Structure 1
Amino acid sequence: MFGAGGRVGRAAVAEAVRRGHRVTAVVRDPAKYADLGASDAVTVVRGDVTDADAVAEAAEGHDAAINATVRLDLPSEEYFTSAARALVDGLGRAGVGRLLVLGIATTLEVSPGVRAMDDPQFPEEYRSFSQGHVAEFELLRAEATGLDWLMVVPPMDLNAEAEATGSYRGAVGTVVGQGRISHADLAVALLDEIEEPRHHGVQWAVSH
């Protein structure tokens, strides 16, 4: 689990442990996330998702990987493509066959052929950030030919305080549902796609 210290990462780690999985929680500074290792099923390690060697080392012996990382101090396109490239390389070397990455709802279609980020009134700074996920998706389509990958896209209203229902709705490439989901239910969707992969090589939107 890359980005295990964030809210989505923590929820995914908790859901994985609840289902009986063993998890390697990859963070930039393990000293800040000692609580993640409270369960014997979780090993907290230092790692950099943009470093293929670090990815390969952390992923060794695992069946799947999730990337929920983000860096706001680097250009979005540079960061997300660097991470995607390192994951493809590192997971390939580690023999990990399944990868889930988190996308952003602004890249989804709101009508045929039109994404939310295409609106002329869409703020430019958000468009630039969204473009990082577009570039990430395009890189995975072009280069991750030996990897079973999926971009899971939560709605804009992703709320740790929202009610956990244990359920969700999904759609490929388009906005779906009520436009909100809890971190816990997003984690359910992520683990469902790891345990029983149903979507491959697409943007899969999830929502309540």
Structure 2
Amino acid sequence: MDSLNKFKIPERIEGLGEFAYNLWWSWHPVARNLFKKIDRSLWKSTEHNPVALLNEIPYHNLVACAQDIEYLRKYDACLEAYKEGLSFQGTWFDKNYHEHLDKLTVYFSLEFALHNSLPLYAGGLGVLAGDYCKEVSDLGIPLIGVGFMYPQGYFHQFISPDGWQNEIYDQLNFKNVAVSRVLAADGKLLTVAVPLDSISIYVSAWKV
């Protein structure tokens, strides 16, 4: 994988960079609070987006966190919970279907509402898919979701002075969202040819 960011983070809390790129943080308050405590106002202005926050935060703020005993206690607890959550050990699926841990379920959806910082959804379909992904993660079910990487996300509506509804489309800034480019074995950007009648469409892959 190749993320678009190389954060400058003190070694003691360097796991924040990995947290930011794994949306596990979005439904675990202990992880969200770590980012919020770095800079509450910036956390709010970035709309609770840890990738954007780490891109903008002054380094000395992170140094202060790395020297704060209470912050480090919460960081270590979060790191332990994070590693446990990724291990599959002791999960519902591990306890009941351990022999199937090597099998993978693939979930196809046009939308995935995982967090508002990654606007790959517009409504109920995405919310349902996102909830499924979060639940199977907590249950320890091996699953991968496959969908589209929309470059604009959803639009924002407003009413013009003359009473007409208008839309604003925000272009997705890939440097400020939790996505990584998938690379081939040779280190180059992975592309897959999808045949369509007499032509082929080439698709690049991104990992959320």
TM-score scaled by length of structure 2? 0.24
Q: Which has the larger radius of gyration?
A: 2
TM-score scaled by length of structure 1? 0.24
Bigger fraction of residues in strand: 1
